[in-house]
Every structure is written in C-alpha cells, then in structure tokens.
C-alpha cells in the first residue's frame, strides 16, 4: 500500500492589526475552529547547528495534546524566493504525560535545548482552501500564517497565494521560524 506524502506549504507574515484581519476573515466566511495555547521546546544537535541548517526538532504541548516533530534542513527547494516554505514534517503523537520524558530523552542523548516558544494560535478555515492561523508569540508579536497541505507543491502554492490575495495579506513576509525570532528577541 502506497501512502501519499503530504507537504506543508506555508508563508508567514508580520501582522500589524489583528482585528482588521479577523473582520476580513469573518466577512469571507472563515470560521474560527480553535484557539489554543502551545508551548514548543526546540532542540539542536551538538555537532550540527539547526539554526544554520534551519532544521526543526521540537516537543509541542497544547492542552492534553503532545507531539514530537522533525522538519528537515532547508535548501532552495524548500524555501522559495517569495518566502513560501514547503517541507515534509515527521510528527509523532505523544501521550500528554510523555512530553516531559521525551524532552528528558533528547537531553540524555546529547541534544541541546535552543528555545521555548509560547504561542497563542487561533485557526480559521472555510470548507475548501487554505488554513489561516493568527499567532501571538510571547515577547515577539503577532503573525498570520497561511498553510496548505498537499502532495503537489505548485498547486498548494497557488491556493496559498489566492487565499493571501483574497485576505489582502501583503505585509512583510517573515522567513525565520518562530524559534529564531524568540532567540533574537532575548
């Protein structure tokens, strides 16, 4: 049995006025699906600087949900000049009480803790199309992230760009991960 491998295609922008975007989302029929608080703890290897390779290894907690995530290194194929990021994520769901032991395991095998990102996220969706998230990152600011999951990067990018145009998103593209923004703000 062959499984179709989905790629997460996303672009993040600085968000100067959250209320303006919330009104626009409502006017266009987007519904808020969830509002959550997430805590992500990011790690790197001692022999490879994940800040330099733009890899991601994190343990995420959100209420009773926990997962470990790995995203591979970035290159010209994963990051477009227009700030679109397309990467396959490997996610392993954890029982809520396994998040802390997973973090302990990473440290025990020599991984280095880089940063903790505290994020308040509200997710919006219509029946079809892109997922739109409004994120407040503690100590950094507000952002909007438009995301499409698809096995076809070109088609997903077209859906993402159409959603951004419809929403009037033309602010500054942010190419750095939240982890890096938090580390810069320290």
pTM as predicted: 0.86
Could you list the mean pLDDT of each consecutive 10-residue stretch along the chain, which spans 186 residues?
Answer: 77 95 94 92 95 93 94 82 80 94 96 97 87 97 94 90 93 92 93
Angle of CA points 123, 125, 131, to nearest 5°: 70
Distance CA 183, CA 175 (A): 14
Per-residue pLDDT at 8: 86
Backbone CA torsion sign across 163, 81, 185, 179 = positive
Question: Tokens at residue 103, please?
Answer: 């973090």
Looking at the DSSP assignment, which residues form a beta bridge with residue 123?
A: 34, 133
- Overall CATH class of domain 7-185: mainly beta
Per-residue pLDDT at 171: 84
Per-residue pLDDT at 129: 77
Domain map (residue ranges) of the chain = 7-185
For the purposes of burial, counting CB atoms within 10 Å of the CB of 58, is it exposed (0-12), middle (13-18) or buried (19 or more)? Answer: buried
Angle of CA points 109, 177, 39, to nearest 5°: 60
């Amino acid at each position: 049995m062959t499984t179709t491998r989905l790629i997460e295609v996303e672009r993040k922008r600085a968000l100067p006025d959250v209320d303006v975007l919330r009104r626009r989302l409502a006017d266009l029929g987007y519904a808020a699906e969830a509002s959550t608080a997430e805590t992500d703890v990011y790690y790197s290897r001692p022999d490879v600087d994940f800040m330099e390779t733009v890899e991601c290894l994190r343990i995420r907690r959100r209420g009773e949900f926990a997962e470990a995530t790995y995203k591979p290194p970035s290159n010209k194929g994963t990051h477009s000049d227009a700030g679109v990021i397309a990467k396959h994520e490997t996610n392993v769901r954890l029982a809520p009480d396994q998040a802390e032991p997973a973090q302990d395991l990473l440290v025990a095998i020599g991984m280095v803790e880089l940063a903790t990102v505290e994020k308040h996220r509200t997710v919006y969706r219509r029946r079809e199309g892109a997922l739109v998230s409004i994120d407040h990152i503690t100590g950094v600011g507000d952002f909007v992230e438009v995301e499409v999951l698809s096995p076809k990067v070109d088609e997903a990018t077209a859906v993402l760009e159409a959603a951004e145009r419809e929403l009037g998103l033309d602010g500054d593209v942010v190419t750095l991960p939240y982890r890096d923004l938090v580390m810069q703000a320290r």
